């Protein structure tokens, strides 16, 4: 079995898997006549839309832990970028102050 360590990639792939499972289920139900297959030529839009409506709450409930892990990863990355930016700004301020002192 493949293990994906990146929480964002893992969440995205799991969410896609839930959607594809719902899409297959809705398609099967439409073929069997359990749900309407659309009106006229709307079948191409109706089935994926219904699968999306079903998969969204399932993903919300089933992938809570993965979503939290992804959020933590994104927050950590944001904090690191913010610290780097602050360090770069302080280095720039110091260089600017040194240049002003040398000129004045």
Q: Where along the chain do its domains lie?
A: 7-88
DSSP structure string for the chain: ------HHHHHHHHHHHHHHHHHHHHHHHHHHTSS---STTTHHHHHHHHHHHHHHHHHHHHTHHHHHHHHHHHHHHHHHHHHHHHHHHHHHHHHHHHHHHHH-
Tokens of 44: 């191409």
| CB 43, CB 30: distance < 8 Å | yes
The average pLDDT across 28-44 equals: 78
What pLDDT band is residue 93 in, cutting at 50, 70 and 90? low
Phi then psi for residue 83, to 5 deg, are: -65, -40
Q: Between residues 30 and 87, which one has the greater pLDDT?
A: 30
Residue 76 pLDDT > 70: yes
| 69: pLDDT strictly greater than 80 | yes
Q: If you average pLDDT over every residue of the chain, what do you get?
A: 85
pLDDT of residue 39: 67
Q: Does the reported pTM lie above 0.85?
A: no
Q: Are 54 and 22 in contact (CB under 8 A)?
A: yes
Rounded average pLDDT over 54-73: 92
Asked whether the predicted pLDDT for residue 88 surpasses 80, the reply is no
pLDDT for 49:
93
Distance CA 88, CA 63 (A): 37
């Amino acid at each position: 079995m493949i293990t994906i360590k990146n929480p964002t990639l893992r969440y995205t792939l799991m969410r896609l898997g839930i959607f594809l499972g719902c899409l297959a289920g809705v398609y099967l139900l439409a073929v069997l006549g359990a749900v309407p297959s659309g009106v006229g030529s709307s079948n191409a839009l109706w089935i994926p839309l219904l699968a999306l409506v079903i998969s969204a709450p399932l993903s919300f409930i089933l992938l809570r832990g993965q979503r939290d892990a992804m959020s933590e990863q994104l927050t950590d990355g944001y904090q690191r970028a913010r610290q780097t930016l602050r360090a770069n700004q302080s280095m720039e301020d110091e260089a600017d102050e040194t240049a002003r002192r040398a000129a004045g």
